[in-house]
Amino acid sequence: MSLVLLQGGRVVDPTNNRDEIADVLLSDGKIQSIAPDLMTPDGTEVIDCQGQVVCPGLIDLHVHFREPGQTAKEDIATGAAAAATGGFTTVVCMPNTTPTIDNPATVKLIQERAAAAAPVNVYVTGTITLGIAGEELSPIGSLKDAGVVAITDDGKCVQNNELMRRALEYAGMFDLPVMDHCQDYSIVTDGVMHEGYWSTNLGLKGWPAAGEDLIVARNIEL
Ligand SMILES: [Zn+2]
C-alpha cells in the first residue's frame, strides 16, 4: 500500500461544501482521509502543499490542441501537459483542426495520440457541418459511434436555420450536446467590440447584442 500525504494545502471541494486548510491522505491513489494535522505512518510520502490549492481535477470544455494539421501552434502532448500543470484533468478538444473533425478517422487519430501522449483525459468534439463550412451536415451518427462527446462548429455559427434544425434533431437522436458559437453574421458583420458608448467613442465598429441574442433565441426555439 502506498501512502501520500498532501500536507497543509487549501482544500477546496464545492460538492462537499469544503474550503479549509487541511491535510489529504491518499492510499494507493485514493483519498483515505481529510483533516488538519493528520498523523501518518512511517514511509508516507509527504508533499508540502502550503500556499497551494488542493481540489478535484478541473475540466476545460473548450481547448484547441491543434492536432492534426496545426502543430506549429500546439499539439496534444504539449496542450495536455499544460492542462495538467494548471490542475485540469479533463479537456474537451474543439474540432477546427486541419482537417476538421468531421469524420471518424480523425476522431480515432486524436484518441490514439491522446492515449500515447496525454497525462489527462482528452475528449473530442465533432463538427456540426462538414469542414465547418456551414453547408452540409457532418455524419453525426458516425461521429457519435467514434466517441465524440458533443458537436460544434467551434468559432463559427451555422447561419442556415433549416440546417441547424436538422443538426439539433440528429444530435437529440444520438444524445449529443450541441455547443454553438451564437453569432448572426448579418448583424455583427465586421464589428470588433461590443456596440455601445465606448465603440462610438473610440470610432470602432460595434457588435450589437442582438447579434448573439437572436441565435440563442433561434436555437432555443428549434
Ligand atoms: Zn474555440
Residue 55's DSSP bridge partners are none
CA distance 40 to 37: 9
Ligand 1 centroid–CA 198 distance in Å is 26
Report pLDDT for 188. 93
**Ligand 1 centre from 54 Cα, in Å?**
28
Which CATH number is 3-54's, of 1.10.3720.10, 3.40.50.300, 1.10.1200.10, 2.30.40.10?
Answer: 2.30.40.10
Dihedral angle, C-alpha 92, 93, 94, 97, nearest 10 °: -170
The C-alpha cell that represents 144 in the structure block: 457519435
Residue 95 alpha carbon to ligand 1 centre in Å: 9
Residue 164 Cα to ligand 1 midpoint, Å, equals: 19
The 10s digit of each residue's pLDDT in 161-210 is 999 999 999 999 999 999 999 999 999 999 999 999 999 999 999 999 99
Q: How far is the CA of 39 from the centre of ligand 1 (A)?
A: 46
At 28 the three-state DSSP class reads coil
How far does residue 181's CA lie from ligand 1's centre (Å)?
Answer: 9
Q: Extract the C-alpha cell encoding 20.
A: 479549509
Distance, CA 64 to ligand 1 centroid (Å)? 7
Please tell me the distance between residue 200's alpha carbon and the centre of ligand 1 in angstroms.
28
Q: Are 18 and 6 in contact (CB under 8 A)?
A: no
Cα 125 to Cα 139: distance, rounded to the nearest angstrom: 13
Domains 3-54 and 58-180 agree in fold: no
Distance 63 CA to ligand 1 centre (A): 7
Domain ranges within the chain, ordered by starting residue: 3-54, 58-180, 182-222
Separation of CA 201 and ligand 1 centre (Å): 29
Report pLDDT for 40: 87
Strands (E), 30-172: 30-35, 45-48, 53-54, 58-63, 88-93, 121-124, 151-152
Centre of ligand 1 from the C-alpha of residue 62, in Å? 6
> Is the peptide bond prior to 56 cis by the omega test (within 30 degrees of 0)?
no
Could you give the CA distance from residue 3 to residue 82 in angstroms, rounded to a whole number?
A: 27
- Spatial separation of the C-alpha atoms in residues 151 and 168, rounded to whole Å: 10
Distance CA 45, CA 108 (A): 38
- Cell 495538467 belongs to which residue? 84
Q: What value does the mean pLDDT take over residues 35-55?
A: 94
Q: What is the pLDDT of residue 41?
A: 87
CA pair distance 136, 158, nearest whole angstrom:
10
Cβ atoms of 7 and 14 closer than 8 Å? no
Question: CATH topology for 58-180?
Answer: TIM Barrel (3.20.20)
Q: Over the stretch 58-111, which tens digit does the pLDDT of each residue have?
A: 999 999 999 899 999 999 999 999 999 999 999 999 999 999 999 999 999 999
Tell me if residue 153 falls in helix, strand or coil: coil
| Ligand 1 geometric centre to CA of 100 (Å) | 13
Distance 154 CA to ligand 1 centre (A): 5
Instruction: Give me ligand 1 centre to Cα 34, in Å.
Output: 38
Cα distance from N-terminal residue to C-terminal residue, the chain: 54
Give the pLDDT score at 1: 81
CA 93 to ligand 1 center in whole angstroms: 9
The model's pLDDT over 102-152, given as tens digits with 9 standing for 90+, comes to 999 999 999 999 999 999 999 999 999 999 999 999 999 999 999 999 999
